[in-house]
């Protein structure tokens, strides 16, 4: 036995430059034997440093307890005194020419934040389950967190088989149950191994006490884990960390998170939307300046033009740029005692971009035990939830499923990280698609009749009354009623109706999030033209996204009045004048607002018309009174 270890030792390449490092985190419920396994692995492969065994023996003797393997990793005195791992630790391990960092993560519920810290650095994970206790809360919680953190290489160790008399039936039951749980959250266990870390069964060598198991040991399983390569062939993402001006060079510094860049490439910076070409890739103490650089490298580049860009922007190529948005979905894990609340604002960090975000909606809290969802008004510590947040500025990002490294964010307050979350867009559109001015050689011409003359002749000011609300809330009915009454009173007025414009001006648009936004952009620009002609324009579109309505408000300047035609979804569904709700419920209409697509209520509308329990005439009376008060010029 001693001879085998010696042979292995000479074959080992400690710190070999060629050997790539595999980082393996060991996770699971408290007391299921994580730290013990690490101690055992080191001992059984002959890698304990000189004097370590004796030091551990001495620590145990002083505490009057039997030999404790966990003391190898539990380096804090408080950890040894209480027999519990508090914080994550790392230790280097090597076997058969492969280098490992073994990351020990605490299993106690109190220290989830430390488990996340450890696991986020891992390429692979070993999930420990106590054969006697079976699957416990942290067994499930930790695997769900691994999934969110992006660890896909996993194996399961069913530990303490000695406590269940090495019983195969017990093992198979846990194996079946846990494999099925992992599968349901999108993870697949490479191996499920029955072990006893304390006794050394199936850790470094096959166990004679479990002849019914013919799979690999823990050590052999480590060798099977595969390393993922940096995503050099994916779209380019270079988030800027800083811009240096130490000398006459202006160097943009950052780490390439995906893709490859070359000198001469035209880069697009988001969200500023400026472009320039890569002049040089800078370096220091290298033989020659590189001509290309790929994912994983920290680089510095200079540009052919001096454009203003700053920390937090993402450089990409012109094709496959990141999404630009100010609203996004996060599936997040909440780490602190104070719950997350709707309406609360937090700091949001997305790579080097730091901004502020408000929680608009808590869509669901996910029960990691039952894998069921429930509605909630807050997210409590250690819960996993789907939320919608709105940022105070436009931000460039990716969906996590597409590019993980630019598709995740953390929430924080001044001194503390509160949560981590992975990004998806759902029905929210990419706002990059709504860049308005594409051509630059335009000269504006001045009209021969100005606004003041039109007001004087019409005896009223122009305006845009932007009706927004659910389908069936009464937008078209009230708009047409108001148009008639205003016309009769001598106003110049016209209704832009959502359905009507789709038969002509917007006939080429679908109901996808991007096309819905474009639909609204065109209507708002037409409204601006008609208002410029002196009219009171009434638009009647669902216009579900706040960002789109804000853009319409920007386009119309001071002429814009947001009118929220308010009705409960149940009221609208009961009316169902166009029969659309019935079809949406039957699944015949995809992305139907209020059913399968979001409606974002106005924050500060100029007018709210609640149509739930009112007749049409009283609503129109109120609208007419509003127009008289705000637009009429007294004679």
Residues taking part in catalysis? 543
The smaller minimum CB distance to other proteins, of residues 68 and 130, is found at 68
Burial class (CB in 10 A: 0-12, 13-18, 19+), 634: exposed
HSE of 31, CA atoms in CB hemisphere, 13 A: 7
Cβ-based neighbours of 162, under 8 Å, separated by 6 or more: 196, 198, 199, 201, 209
The first and second tokens of residue 360, run together, are 């608009």
Q: Which stretch binds other proteins (CB under 8 A): 244-252, 378-386, 445-453, 614-622?
A: 244-252
Task: Rank residues 345 and 417 by Cβ distance to other proteins and give the closer one.
Answer: 417
Q: Strands of 89-95's sheet, edge to edge?
A: 89-95, 98-104, 21-28, 124-130, 153-159, 189-194
User: From the CB of 198, what's the least distance to other proteins, in Å?
Assistant: 21
Q: Which of 9, 392, 393, 612 binds other proteins (CB under 8 A)?
A: 9
Among 120, 202, 217, 519, binds other proteins (CB under 8 A): 120
186, 226, 228, 244: which one contacts other proteins (CB under 8 A)? 244
Instruction: For residues 126 and 339, give the distance between their C-alpha atoms in angstroms, rounded to a whole number.
Output: 30
The yes or no reply on residue 444 touching other proteins (CB under 8 A) is: no
Closest approach of other proteins to the CB of residue 241, in Å: 5
What does the alpha-carbon distance between residue 159 and residue 194 come to, in Å, rounded to a whole number? Answer: 6
Nearest to 359 by CA among 382, 336, 334, 337: 334
CB of 156 to other proteins, least distance (A): 23
Q: 3-class DSSP state for residue 553? A: helix
Letters for 257-286 (x = contact with other proteins by CB under 8 A, - = none) are -------------------------xxxx-
What is the Cα gyration radius of the chain? 31
- Helix, strand, or coil (residue 147): helix
Q: Does residue number 287 form part of the binding site for other proteins (CB under 8 A)?
A: no
Task: Find the shortest distance in angstroms from Cβ 227 to other proteins.
Answer: 11
For residue 152, give every residue at least 6 positions away whose Cβ sits within 8 Å of its Cβ, in sequence order, or none: 187, 228
Q: Is 416 in the site for other proteins (CB under 8 A)?
A: yes
Nearer to other proteins, 296 or 587 (CB): 296
- Of the candidate spans 405-413, 487-495, 533-541, 569-577, the one that interacts with other proteins by CB under 8 A turns out to be 405-413
Contact characters 298-337, other proteins, x per CB under 8 A: x-x----------x-----------------------x--
Sequence-separated (6 or more) residues with CB below 8 Å from residue 211: none
51 binds other proteins (CB under 8 A): yes
Stretch 52-111 residues interacting with other proteins (CB under 8 A):
58-59, 62, 73, 75-78, 86-92, 101
For residues 55 and 608, which CB has a smaller minimum distance to other proteins in the complex? 55
Residue range at the interface with other proteins (CB under 8 A); choices 17-25, 481-489, 521-529, 607-615: 17-25
Identify the CA nearest to 410 among candidates 611, 133, 113, 24. Answer: 113
């Amino acid at each position: 036995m001693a001879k085998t270890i010696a042979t292995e030792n000479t074959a080992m390449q400690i710190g070999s430059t060629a050997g790539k490092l595999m980082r393996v985190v060991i996770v699971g419920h408290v007391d299921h034997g994580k730290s013990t396994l690490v101690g055992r692995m080191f001992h059984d492969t002959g890698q304990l440093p000189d004097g370590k065994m004796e030091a551990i023996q001495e620590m145990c003797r002083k505490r009057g307890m039997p030999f404790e393997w966990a003391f190898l990793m539990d380096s804090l005195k408080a950890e040894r005194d209480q027999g519990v791992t508090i914080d994550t630790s790392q230790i280097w391990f090597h076997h058969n020419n492969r280098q490992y960092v073994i990351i020990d993560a605490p299993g106690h519920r109190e220290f989830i934040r430390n488990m996340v810290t450890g696991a986020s650095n891992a390429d692979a994970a070993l999930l420990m389950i106590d054969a006697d206790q079976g699957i416990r809360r942290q067994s499930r919680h930790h695997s769900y967190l691994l999934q969110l953190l992006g660890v896909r290489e996993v194996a399961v160790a069913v530990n303490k088989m000695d406590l269940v008399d090495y019983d195969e039936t017990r093992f198979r039951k846990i194996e079946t149950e846990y494999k099925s749980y992992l599968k349901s959250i999108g993870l697949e266990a490479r191996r499920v191994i029955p072990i006893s870390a304390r006794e050394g069964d199936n850790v470094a060598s096959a166990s004679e006490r479990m002849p019914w198991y013919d799979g690999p040991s823990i050590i052999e399983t480590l060798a099977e884990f595969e390393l993922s390569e940096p995503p050099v062939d994916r779209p380019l993402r270079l988030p800027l960390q800083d811009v240096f001006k130490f000398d006459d060079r202006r160097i943009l510094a950052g780490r390439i998170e995906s893709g490859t860049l070359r000198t001469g490439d035209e880069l697009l910076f988001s969200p500023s939307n400026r472009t320039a070409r890569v002049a040089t890739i800078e370096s220091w103490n290298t033989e020659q300046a590189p001509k290309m650089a790929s994912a994983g490298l920290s680089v510095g580049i200079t540009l052919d033009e001096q454009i203003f860009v700053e920390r937090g922007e993402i450089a990409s190529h012109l094709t496959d740029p990141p999404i630009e948005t100010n609203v996004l979905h996060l599936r997040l894990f909440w780490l602190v005692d104070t719950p997350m609340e709707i309406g609360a604002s937090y700091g949001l960090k997305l790579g080097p971009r730091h901004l502020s975000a408000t929680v608009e909606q808590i869509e669901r809290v996910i029960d990691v035990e039952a894998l069921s969802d429930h509605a909630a008004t807050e997210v409590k510590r250690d819960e996993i939830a789907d939320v919608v947040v709105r940022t105070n500025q436009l931000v460039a990002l990716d969906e996590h499923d597409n590019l993980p490294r630019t598709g995740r964010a953390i929430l924080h307050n001044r001194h503390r990280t509160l949560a981590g979350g992975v990004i998806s867009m759902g029905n929210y559109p990419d706002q990059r698609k709504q860049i308005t001015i594409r051509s630059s050689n335009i000269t504006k011409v001045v009209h021969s009749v100005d606004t003041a003359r039109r007001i004087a002749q019409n005896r009223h000011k122009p305006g845009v009354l932007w009706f927004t609300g659910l389908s069936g809330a009464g937008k078209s009915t009230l708009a047409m009623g108001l148009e008639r009454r205003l016309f009769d009173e001598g106003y110049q007025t016209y209704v832009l109706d959502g359905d009507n414009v789709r038969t002509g001006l917007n006939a080429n648009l679908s109901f996808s999030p991007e096309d819905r936004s474009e639909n609204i952009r065109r209507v708002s620009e037409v409204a601006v033209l008609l208002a410029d002609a002196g009219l009171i324009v009434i638009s009647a579109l669902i216009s579900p996204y706040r960002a789109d309505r804000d853009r319409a408000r920007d386009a119309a300047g001071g002429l814009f009045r947001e009118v929220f035609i308010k009705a409960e979804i149940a009221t609208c569904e009961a009316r169902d004048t166009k029969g659309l709700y019935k079809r949406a419920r039957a699944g015949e209409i995809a992305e139907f607002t209020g059913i399968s697509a979001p409606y974002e209520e106005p924050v500060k509308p100029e007018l709210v018309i609640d149509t739930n329990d009112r007749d049409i005439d009283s609503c129109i009376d109120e609208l007419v009174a509003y127009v008289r008060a705000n637009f009429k010029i007294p004679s």
